[in-house]
Amino acid sequence: MEGKPKQILIADDEPDILEIVSYNLGKEGYEIYTAKDGNEAIERAKQLNPDLIILDIMMPKKTGVEVCQILRSQPQFQDTLIIFLTAMSDEASQIKGLETGADDYVNKPISPKVLVSRVNALFRRVNSKEVGKSIHIGNLTIDPVKFLVVIDQKEVILAKKEFELLHLLASRPGRVFLRNEILSQVWGNDVIVGDRTIDVHIRKVRQKLGIDCITTVKGVGYKFDM
C-alpha cells in the first residue's frame, strides 16, 4: 500500500545545492519544491504543507533556525519533519539545531546519497505510526485519529457523517465538490438518499462549528473556505 508521494520543501540560497538535492531526492520518488531564502521557505511551507522541510541554516532574510522556530510554533507544523543542512559543523550549532525541534542535522559538504538515506530513514520511522494525518487550517484542526475537531482550542463533537463530510471538504480547501461527488464519497456509490440530505448535514456542521467556513456554490456544490 504505497501512499501518495511525499512532498519535500528544500530551502537554500545556493542554487547548486538546491539542484543537486532536488535531483537526488526526486529520483527517489519524492515531490520536490524549493525556496531560496527564509521568508520564501515560510511562505511556501504554509501553502504546501509539505511532509518534510530541509533548511539551510545560513540563508538570507531568515536563518534556518529562525524558520524552524516560527514554523514549529504553529500547530500546522507540529508534526512536520525538519532537517537542517549546514556548513557549520561545530557541535554547539548542531545541538541548538536539534533542540529547536529539528529531526536531523546534516553537515555540508553533503553527500547526496547520505542525505537520501537519512530522508528515507526518517520517513520509514514516521510512516509506521502515522495512519491518518490531521488537517490544520487556521484555528481549525481536524483529527481523524481522535475523531475530533478542534476550533479555537475548543473541542467540537461531530457525528460520523458530519465528520466525514467536513473532512472531505477540508481535505481540499477552496475546491468545489459537486453534490454527486459528496454523495459517492461520504454516502457511497450505491446508496440513494433524498435531495435535502446533504443540505441538512451541511447545516449541522455549520451549526456545530459556529464559524462560516462552508460556502455554497449554487447549482454546483459546496466548498470549504476560511
By CB under 7 A, name the binding residues for DNA.
157, 159-162, 179, 187, 191-197, 199-203, 206, 216-221
Closer to DNA by Cβ: residue 42 or 202: 202
**CA 84 remoteness from chain centre:** 18
Nearer to a second copy, 43 or 159 (CB): 159
CB of 23 or CB of 147, closer to DNA: 147
Element containing residue 85 per DSSP (H, E): strand 81-86
The rounded distance, in Å, linking the Cα atoms of 44 and 42 is 6
Contact 138, 226 (CB under 8 A): yes
Min dist CB 158 to DNA, Å, is 8
List all residues 6 or more positions away from 192 whose beta carbon is below 8 Å from its beta carbon.
none
First to last CA, the chain: 33
Q: Which is nearer to a second copy, 23 or 147 (CB)?
A: 147
- Between residues 43 and 79, which has the closer beta carbon with respect to a second copy? 79
Binding residues (CB under 8 A) for a second copy: these are: 78-79, 81, 91, 94-95, 98-99, 101-105, 111, 113-114, 117-118, 120-121, 124-126, 128-129, 145-148, 159-160, 174-176, 217-220, 223
Minimum CB separation from DNA for residue 125, in Å?
32
CB of 143 to DNA, least distance (A): 16
Q: Which does 179 bind (CB under 5 to 8 A by kind): a second copy, DNA, none?
A: DNA
Minimum CB separation of residue 53 from a second copy in Å reads 14
114 binds, among a second copy, DNA, none (CB under 5 to 8 A by kind): a second copy
The strands making up 214-217's β-sheet, listed across from edge to edge, are: 176-178, 221-224, 214-217
Which helix (H) or strand (E) segment holds residue 71: the answer is helix 64-72
| Full DSSP string of 89-141 | --HHHHHHHHHTT-SEEEESSPPHHHHHHHHHHHHHHHHTT--S--EEETTEE
